[in-house]
């Protein structure tokens, strides 16, 4: 059964069935010309939108529907986290190829709904349309933050310490593994193309992968946006600047440096590269440091901290749900460098990329999205 | 020159160049992880999203880029108007085929920017991505309204009078004319296919059309959302129910009747069918009434009014910028009928349509969008 067999009302009913009861601030919900909500008192509102396009940001051959839904919401949640905002509501705009299986539609919605519930986001409205081409998921997300607690990119000063949350490099390895598994279907346990496809849909492309590689794959498929950490950093006023790593650590360092008018020195030896990722990069003859800082999709946070507010940072780390690692420092001169083996070189991955090879960018943060399925990085 | 020749920063700069200076309520604008805005005091917030997909909602062969941009914003403004809300801000998400001409990109943005300026909407952020298929424009729009003034669909009661703004049927005729001009390129003055295409891009498909037909074409290409009328109806508390005609008058009558739990009797003789549209429908042997009430894209408002509040309506009409025509009445029994030649028949165009034949629908108002380029109406 495909979505062509359903009326739009039936599809909307399938979405509504997965939504929790409406919150009391929702004055008019799904079913009128637009949604009406009561604003939260004494809070500024934070708004972002991101789109996932099939063939650009994901490949249905190896990303299961619920992971597509999860990712579509996660990339937006990550943007709110980087502003220190508490997520509040979402508008969901889906462009669906008519041949999309109902089971896949349900999976997509389930992926969005599960992450929404966990992060207290309510879907207040949206739009369904047919697509003449790829599947596209566009999510607009709003959140709230006290005006004085907004985490901008522009507040870093020379002498501020740079921290990154969690680990980096795993998602890039996960994507590489998933891609290879479809390029070389013989690598699957059965060697049968059809079986491989079916396994892909359920997220089990590599039935014989080690738990370590599986961890990398899950980091790509179901990134965990650092909502709680962002909130804690904002409440404690512990960060002088913050942004998320949607395009990789290197890009984030360049962006914060440019927005703040500072330079940065990153200590290669301090980088929290996921061990499995380091292993895979090294086995392929690639430099783990370069790969880990230019690979995207990690959705961690890069945070600048004033030396005198490190005490506040400790509290944020305690309740943020994810470790922070000190990776470098902001500098007076405007150079952005990698410190390694006693010498400084320009941090790899700087520079602007072209629309042709960089599949996505944002009015919010002028990025090229690294979750690309085709094309190569323009750095 | 196509968008592939530009970096995403250059494309974003081209958008920013067309935006007015940021309003004082915009605390963080384009250039950070997300936009931050100050909420308007004592107002509820109204949110909506609509997507225009190439090949579903428009055809680039005969809809010029600025009209695509205009329409993408207009359909959202129309939803806000139907809630009685004052538009405030927009997030813009564009999925662009790499071969899109820069001139067309600029035209698209110009169409959005011009209507945004006129309706006091500020673009606070968004997203650019490559599309592997059609051009897609997704606009999320927010506005504000006093909580007690929200215009819902559900407030109509038996005895309320039904009004429609402006005229109906013109946009459907305009779309028909534009389609025919590309299906039968010989109809153009030159008979040359390439010339026709170029003329299409500039919006001058039919170089020999009468001013009357040109008016219908413009109604399709550049619909005027009834923002001012919606605001006036809300402020005067003149309407018991309201919705826009994105899917045609008939659909709107059915929706308001269902949401309010009433029936409706529409007087065929009272319908404000655009004269040029009536002429074209009749010349094609079609029933002008049926065509005009089931044709979409008019983006007028359907309004229910209590008999005792007609005085308030007069003030709304005086300042709403568009005439209202009384077309029928809400009834006690649940039937929705067309009154014509002394007899009542079910209003044509009722019933739910399938996703397969109805290209768009909305979580907000479960509609099938009539701006379809292919497929036929499922009624």
Mean predicted confidence (pLDDT) in A151-177: 96
pLDDT of residue A15: 95
Mean predicted confidence (pLDDT) in B4-30: 92
Cross-strand bridge partners of residue A339: A267, A344
Cβ contacts of residue B84 below 8 Å, gap of 6+?
Answer: B145, B149, B150, B151, B230, B231, B233, B234, B235, B239, B242
Contacts of A95 in chain B (CB under 8 A): 51, 53, 136
Indicate yes or no: CB of B33 within 8 angstroms of CB of A83: yes
pLDDT of residue B71: 97
Dihedral sign for Cα atoms in the order A273, A275, A276, A280: positive
pLDDT 10s digits, B221-237: 999 999 999 999 999 99
pLDDT of residue A115: 98
Chain A residue whose CA is closest to B260: A32
Contacts of A91 in chain B (CB under 8 A): 47-49, 140
Indicate yes or no: CB of A363 within 8 angstroms of CB of B51: no
For residue B358, is pLDDT > 70?
A: no
pLDDT of residue A206: 47
pLDDT of residue A24: 96
Confidence of residue A329 (pLDDT cuts 50, 70, 90): very high
Distance from CA of B310 to the nearest CA of A (A): 24
Among A288, A285, A270, which Cα is nearest to A216's? A288
Confidence of residue B34 (pLDDT cuts 50, 70, 90): very high
If you write DSSP's letter for every residue of B249-305 in order, what string do you get? HHHHHHHHHHHHT-EEEEEGGG--B-HHHHHHHHHTT--HHHHHHH------EEEEE
Least confident segment among A313-317, A336-340, B110-114: A313-317
For residue A26, is pLDDT > 60?
A: yes
Indicate yes or no: CB of B131 within 8 angstroms of CB of A365: no
For residue B361, is pLDDT > 80?
A: no
pLDDT of residue B363: 59
Contacts of B98 in chain A (CB under 8 A): 355-356
pLDDT of residue A137: 98
pLDDT of residue B277: 93
pLDDT of residue A367: 40
Of B37, B123, B153, the CB nearest to A45: B37
And the tokens for A277? Answer: 């990722």
pLDDT of residue B378: 29
pLDDT of residue A213: 85
pLDDT 10s digits, B91-136: 999 999 999 999 999 999 999 999 999 999 999 999 999 999 999 9
Indicate yes or no: CB of A147 within 8 angstroms of CB of B38: yes
Distance from CA of A209 to the nearest CA of B (A): 31
pLDDT of residue A199: 45
Contacts of A87 in chain B (CB under 8 A): none
Cross-strand bridge partners of residue B53: B136
Chain A residue whose CA is closest to B373: A132
Of A130, A244, A259, the CB nearest to B359: A130
Which range, A90-99, A188-197, A343-352, B174-183, is most confident? A90-99
pLDDT 10s digits, A261-291: 999 999 999 999 999 899 999 999 999 999 9
For residue B377, is pLDDT > 90?
A: no
Cβ contacts of residue B357 below 8 Å, gap of 6+?
Answer: B368, B375, B376, B377, B378
Contacts of B240 in chain A (CB under 8 A): none
For residue A364, is pLDDT > 70?
A: no
pLDDT of residue A110: 97
pLDDT of residue B47: 98
The distance between the two most distant Cα atoms of chain B, rounded to a whole number of Å, is 65
Instruction: Enumerate the H helices of A239-367 as residue ranges.
Output: 249-260, 275-283, 288-294, 310-320
For residue A60, is pLDDT > 90?
A: yes
Of A89, A128, A150, the CB nearest to B362: A128
Least confident segment among A120-124, A328-332, B313-317: B313-317
Of A32, A56, A80, the CB nearest to B152: A32
- Euclidean distance between CA atoms A155 and A82, whole angstroms: 13
For residue B38, is pLDDT > 50?
A: yes
And the tokens for A29? Answer: 């919900």
Of A8, A27, A32, the CB nearest to B358: A8
Contacts of A134 in chain B (CB under 8 A): 131-133
Distance from CA of B63 to the nearest CA of A (A): 17
Chain B residue whose CA is closest to A137: B138
Percent with pLDDT over 90 in chain A: 75
Chain B residue whose CA is closest to A258: B31
Contacts of B154 in chain A (CB under 8 A): 32
Mean pLDDT of chain B: 87
Q: What is the ipTM of this complex?
A: 0.88
Mean predicted confidence (pLDDT) in B337-350: 92
pLDDT of residue A180: 86
Chain B residue whose CA is closest to A145: B36
| CB-CB contact of B174 with B210 (8 Å) | no
Enumerate helices (H) and strands (E) in chain A, giving the number of each: 11, 14
Mean predicted confidence (pLDDT) in B322-343: 96
Mean predicted confidence (pLDDT) in B294-301: 92
Indicate yes or no: CB of B140 within 8 angstroms of CB of A140: yes
Ordered domains of chain B (ranges, CATH): 3-149 (3.30.1330.10), 151-351 (3.90.650.10)
Contacts of B130 in chain A (CB under 8 A): 53, 56, 355, 359-360
pLDDT of residue A208: 58
pLDDT of residue A376: 30
Structure-model confidence comparison of residues B57 and A362, the more confident one: B57
Cβ-Cβ contacts under 8 Å between A and B: the total is 346
Mean predicted confidence (pLDDT) in B25-34: 94
pLDDT of residue A184: 54
Mean predicted confidence (pLDDT) in A120-132: 95
Indicate yes or no: CB of A3 within 8 angstroms of CB of B365: no
Structure-model confidence comparison of residues A168 and B213, the more confident one: A168
Of B92, B145, B353, the CB nearest to A7: B353
Contacts of A57 in chain B (CB under 8 A): 129
pLDDT of residue B210: 80
Of A129, A356, A360, the CB nearest to B129: A360
pLDDT 10s digits, A28-58: 999 999 999 999 999 999 999 999 999 999 9
Indicate yes or no: CB of B34 within 8 angstroms of CB of A55: no
Cβ contacts of residue A225 below 8 Å, gap of 6+?
Answer: A74, A75, A77, A78, A80, A81, A119, A244, A299
Q: Which residues of A341-360 are buried (b: 16+ CB within 10 A; e: fewer)?
A: eeeeeebbbeeebbbbbbbb
Confidence of residue B180 (pLDDT cuts 50, 70, 90): confident
Indicate yes or no: CB of A43 within 8 angstroms of CB of B44: no
For residue B354, is pLDDT > 60?
A: no
pLDDT of residue A107: 97
Distance from CA of A300 to the nearest CA of B (A): 13
Backbone angle region of A55, left / alpha / beta, with phi > 0 → left and psi within -120 to 50 → alpha: left
pLDDT of residue B147: 96
pLDDT 10s digits, B64-77: 999 999 999 999 99
pLDDT of residue B187: 40
Percent with pLDDT over 90 in chain B: 75
Mean pLDDT of chain A: 87
Strands (E) in chain B, as ranges, are 26-28, 35-37, 44-53, 86-96, 122-130, 136-145, 161-165, 241-244, 263-267, 301-305, 324-331, 336-340, 343-346, 360-362
């Amino acid at each position: 059964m495909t979505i062509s067999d359903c009326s739009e009302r039936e599809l909307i009913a399938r979405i509504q069935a997965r939504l929790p009861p409406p919150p009391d601030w929702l004055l008019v919900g799904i079913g009128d010309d637009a949604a009406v909500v009561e604003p939260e008192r004494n809070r500024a509102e934070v708004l972002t939108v991101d789109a996932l396009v099939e063939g650009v940001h994901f490949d249905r051959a190896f990303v299961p529907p619920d992971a597509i839904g999860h990712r579509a919401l996660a990339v937006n949640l990550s943007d709110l986290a980087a502003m220190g905002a508490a997520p509040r509501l979402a508008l969901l705009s889906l462009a669906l190829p008519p041949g999309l299986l109902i089971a896949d539609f349900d999976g997509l919605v389930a992926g969005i709904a599960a992450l929404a519930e966990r992060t207290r986001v309510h879907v207040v409205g949206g739009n369904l349309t047919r697509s003449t081409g790829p599947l596209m998921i566009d999510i607009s997300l709003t959140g709230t933050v006290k005006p004085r607690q907004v985490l901008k990119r522009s507040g870093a000063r020379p002498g501020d310490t740079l921290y990154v949350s969690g680990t980096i490099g795993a998602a890039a390895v996960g994507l590489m593994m998933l891609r290879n598994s479809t390029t070389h279907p013989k690598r699957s346990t059965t060697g049968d193309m059809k079986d491989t496809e079916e396994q892909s849909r359920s997220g089990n492309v590599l039935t014989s992968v080690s738990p370590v590689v599986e961890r990398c794959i899950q980091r790509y498929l179901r990134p965990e946006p650092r909502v709680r950490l962002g909130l804690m950093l904002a409440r404690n006023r512990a960060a002088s600047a913050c942004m998320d790593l949607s395009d990789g650590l290197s890009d984030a360092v360049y962006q914060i440096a440019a927005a703040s008018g500072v330079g940065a020195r990153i200590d290669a030896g301090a980088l929290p590269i996921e061990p499995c990722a380091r292993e895979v990069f090294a086995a392929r003859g690639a430099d783990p440091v370069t790969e880990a800082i230019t690979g995207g999709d990690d959705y961690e946070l890069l945070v600048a901290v004033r030396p005198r507010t490190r005490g506040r940072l400790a509290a944020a780390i305690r309740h943020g749900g994810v470790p922070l690692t000190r990776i470098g420092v902001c500098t007076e001169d405007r150079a952005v460098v990698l410190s390694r083996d006693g010498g400084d070189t320009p941090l790899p991955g700087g520079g602007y990329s072209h629309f042709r090879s960089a599949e996505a960018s944002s009015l919010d943060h002028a990025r090229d999205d690294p979750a690309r399925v085709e094309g190569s990085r323009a750095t």
